[in-house]
Amino acid sequence: MINVNKIREDFPILNRMINGKPLIYFDNAATSQTPRQVIDVIVDYYTNYNANIHRGVHTLSQEATDLYEQARAKIQKHFNAKHSHEIILTSGTTHGINLVANGFSSLLNSNDEVLVSALEHHSNIVPWQMLCERTGATLKVIPMNEKGELIMSDYNDLLSKNTKLVFVNHISNALGTINPIAEIISKAHAVGAAVLVDGAQSCPHVQPDVQALDVDFYVASAHKMCGPTGVGLLYGKEEWLNKLPPYQGGGEMIDEVTFEQTTYAGLPHKFEAGTPNICGGIAFGAAVDYMNAIGFDAIATYEHELLEYATNALSEIEGLRIYGTAKEKTSVISFNIEGIHPYDIGTILDKMGIAVRTGHHCAQPIMDFFKIPGTVRASFAFYNTKAEIDALVNGVNKAKMMLS
C-alpha cells in the first residue's frame, strides 16, 4: 500500500509554485521527478568521490570505481541479467538502440527483413531505417488497430525465415499500450530472429525479468525511473554482445593499441568508450534502490487506480476523445477536444500550474494513423494524487470553455 503523502515529501520539486499555483506534474512519460534520496547521492559523489574510474591507483579513483560497479550490479539484479557484464551503461535508451543498430550493420544483407511496430517512438524507427539503408535490408511494420493495440495476426504473417530482427516497445509512450512482448519474443525466436525491446516507458511501472522474457536486448533510461538524465542501460545476452563490433573507439574499450592493430577489451568495457557519466551511473543505482523500496507491485496497483479514476473523469467531458484504449494499458492518457488544438489546451493548463505534454510525442506515425496533429498527454506516477486529477479535469473544462 502506497502512502502517497509521505512519498511526496521525498520530491522537493513538488513544492514549487508555477504561475502562482502549486505544481501538478503530469509529464512523467517524458521524465520523472527525482527524489531527495537520489539527489543526495549526486551531491555526495561530487563532494567526496569525484574521480575517473577503472584507471587510477589512488584512493578516490578506486572508491569511485567501486561505487560505479556496485551500481551496475544493482541494475543487473533489478533486471535479473545473468551476468553483470551484460549490463552496458549508456547515455540513455536512444544510445542503446543505436549501439545495437550499428552493430547489426555487419550482420545483415539485402535478403534480410527487420520488423518494427506501428507504436514506436522515433528513436526506435529512425535507427532501423538507417540500418536498412546501409545494408539493403527491408523494414516492415507491425500494424495497430483503433484501440492502439498491435494486430498480432499480422505480426504472425510478417514473420519469416528472412526476419532477422524485431524491435518493439514494451509500453507505448504516446498511448500507454502494454505490448505482449513475451509472445512477440517467443514467435520471433521461432523463426531465428533476435528481439530488442525498448523499455523506456515500462521500467517506471514494472520490473522486467530479462531472463524470464528470454529477450536478446533490452534498453531503458534512468531519468524515467526517478534517476538523472544522461544515463541508461543496454542489456544484451552475452553471446549477442560478443558478436557485435564496438560502437565507438576510444579509451577504456581497448585491450592493446599499436599503430598497426588494436584489440578490444571484454564486456562490458568493449561498449563503454571514454569517461562515462560516473555520477549518473551511481545515481541510477540509487534510483533503482528507491523504487524497489516502494515496491513495483504497489506502484502498479496505485497507478492503475489513478488511470481508471482519470479515464472515468475525463470521459465525462463532452467532445473529449481518448486515444489509446487498449485492454492492457499503463498510466498514460492521450486525448483531444474536438475543434481545439492540443497545444492551446496545454498552454492554458500550464497557466494553472498543470504540466502536461502536447504534440506528437516523437511518435508521428501514431498521430498519422489517427489523422490528428497530436494530443494532450497526461501521464501519472506513484507520487501523483486523485486531487491533482480533479484539478486537471477542472482545468480541461476551463480550457474548453475559453477556447470553444
Active-site residue list: 362
Kindly tell me the burial class for residue 334, based on how many C-beta atoms sit within 10 Å of its own C-beta (0-12, 13-18, 19 or more): buried
Give the list of residues 6+ apart from residue 112 with CB closer than 8 angstroms, or none.
135, 137, 138, 162, 163, 164, 165
Q: Side chain identity at 135, as an amino acid letter? A: T
Kindly tell me the burial class for residue 5, based on how many C-beta atoms sit within 10 Å of its own C-beta (0-12, 13-18, 19 or more): exposed
Q: Helix, strand, coil shares of the chain as percentages rounded to 5?
A: 45, 20, 35
113-117/163-169 β-pairing: parallel
Q: Coil, strand, or helix at residue 365?
A: helix
The label of the residue with cell 543526495 reads: 40
What are the grid coordinates assigned to 131, written together?
540500418
Q: Side chain identity at 263, as an amino acid letter? A: T
What are the grid coordinates assigned to 4, written together?
502517497
d(CA 183, CA 58): 50
What are the grid coordinates assigned to 144, written together?
495497430
Q: Coil, strand, or helix at residue 159?
A: coil
Give the list of residues 6+ apart from residue 312 with CB closer than 8 angstroms, or none.
none
d(CA 72, CA 247): 20
193: left (phi over 0), alpha (psi -120 to 50) or beta: beta
Beta strands in 85-231 (DSSP E): 87-90, 113-117, 138-142, 163-169, 194-198, 217-221
The label of the residue with cell 490528428 reads: 372
Among candidates 393, 384, 396, which has minimal Cα distance to 23? 384
